[in-house]
Chain A
Amino acid sequence: MTTIAFWLFSGVAVLSAFLCITRRSPVASALWLVCTFFNIAALFVLLDAHFIAAAQVLVYAGAIMVLFLFVIMLLNLGRSGPGDMKGPWGRVVAVAAGVVLALELLVLRLAVPPAEFRLPPGTIAREVEARGAVQAVAQPLFQAYLIPFEITSLMLLVAIVGAVVLAKRRI
C-alpha cells in the first residue's frame, strides 16, 4: 500500500515537474510547480517526516509560490507570448546534460551509508510515535543546532532589508 502510494505520488511529482519546465506561460509553470510541491509533501509523509510535510505545504506551496505568482501578475507576464525556449541546438544540449546528470546521480545512489552510521529500520517512525512529530524535529533544532538557528534569523532579517532596498523605487 505504502509502495503504491509512493510511486503514485512520485510519478505525479515528476510529471508535473516536467510540465512545469515545458509550459510556455509562466502562470501555468508556477501552478504545475505547486502541484509538484504538494506531491513532494506527500512523499515526506510517507518518509515519516510529517512536520516537514506541513512546513512544505505552508512555506513552499503557500508562501513562496504565492510570491512567485504575485510577481508574475505584477509584471503582467501572464499572457503567453512568443516562447522563451532555446533553439533546437540549445534543447539538445540541455536534455543531454540533464540525462547525463540524472545517470550520475542514479549511480551515486548505489553508495549506501556505512553500516556503523545506520540506524535500525523504523527508528524515526518510532521516535515520531513516542515524542510527536514536532518534538522529534524541535529538540535537535533548539539544542544541537541552536546557533545555526539564530544565524538563520539574522539572514532572514538581511533578506527582508535587501528585498525592500532592491524593489523599492525610491527609498
Chain B
Amino acid sequence: MLLGPALAVSAVLFSLGVVGVLLRRNAIIIFMCIELMLNAVNLAFVALSQQLGMDGQVFVFFVMTVAAAEAAVGLAIVIAVYRHRETLNLQNINLLRG
C-alpha cells in the first residue's frame, strides 16, 4: 500500500542527487550525491519487492556491495588526484578534456 509513495520519495531523492552532481564542483560532494542516487534506487527496489517478491531485497545487497567497492576505489582516486593537484575543484582537474 506504500508502494506509490515510496516510489515517489525514491524519485525525488534520485533527482536531488542528480541536481547535486550538476550543481557542485567539489569532487567529494559529487561522490556523496552519487551515493544518494544509489540509495534512492535501493528504496525503489525495496518498495517494489513488496509486490514482486524477495529478489528486490537481494539486489539491494548487490547494490550495497558495489557502492562500498566504488566508494573505496573512488576515494583512493580522490586522494591520488589531491596529492598531485592540491585541489578537488573539478574546474581545475581537466587533464582529460583535451
A113 CB to closest chain B CB (Å) equals 6
Could you tell me the dominant secondary structure of chain A's interface residues?
helix
Q: Which of A22-41 contact B (CB under 8 A)?
A: 26, 29-30, 33, 36-37, 40
- Give bound CA distance, A75 to B31, whole Å: 15
A72-98 at interface with B (beta carbon < 8 Å): 72, 74-75, 77, 84-86, 90-91, 93-95, 97-98
Q: Once the chains are docked, how many angstroms separate the CA of A26 from the CA of B89?
A: 12
Chain A, residues 1-21, CB within 8 Å of chain B (1/0): the string is 011001100100110011011
A47 touches B46 (CB 8 A): yes
Are A47's CB and B47's CB within 8 A? yes
How far is the CB of B73 from the nearest CB of chain A, in Å?
Answer: 5
Q: Residues of A contacting B2 with CB < 8 Å?
A: 2-3, 6, 46-47
B19 nearest CB neighbor, chain A only = A98
Residues of A within 8 A of B19 (CB): 21, 94-95, 97-98
A136, B4: Cα distance in complex, Å: 24
Chain B contacts for A55, CB-based, 8 A:
61, 64
- Classify chain B: how many residues form its interface, as a range: 35 or more
Given contacts A84-B25, A84-B29, A124-B50, whether A141 and B13 have CB atoms under 8 Å apart is: no
Whether B58 is near chain A, meaning CB under 8 Å from some CB there, is: yes
B24 pairs with A85, CB closer than 8 A? yes
- Whole-angstrom CA separation of A156 from B6 in the bound complex: 30
Considering the complex, give the chain A residue whose CB is closest to the CB of B47. A47
Verify B15–A98 contact, CB threshold 8 A.
Answer: yes
B residues at A contact (CB < 8 Å) = 1-2, 4-20, 22-26, 28-29, 31-33, 35-36, 39, 42-43, 46-55, 57-58, 60-62, 64-73, 75-80, 82-83, 88-89
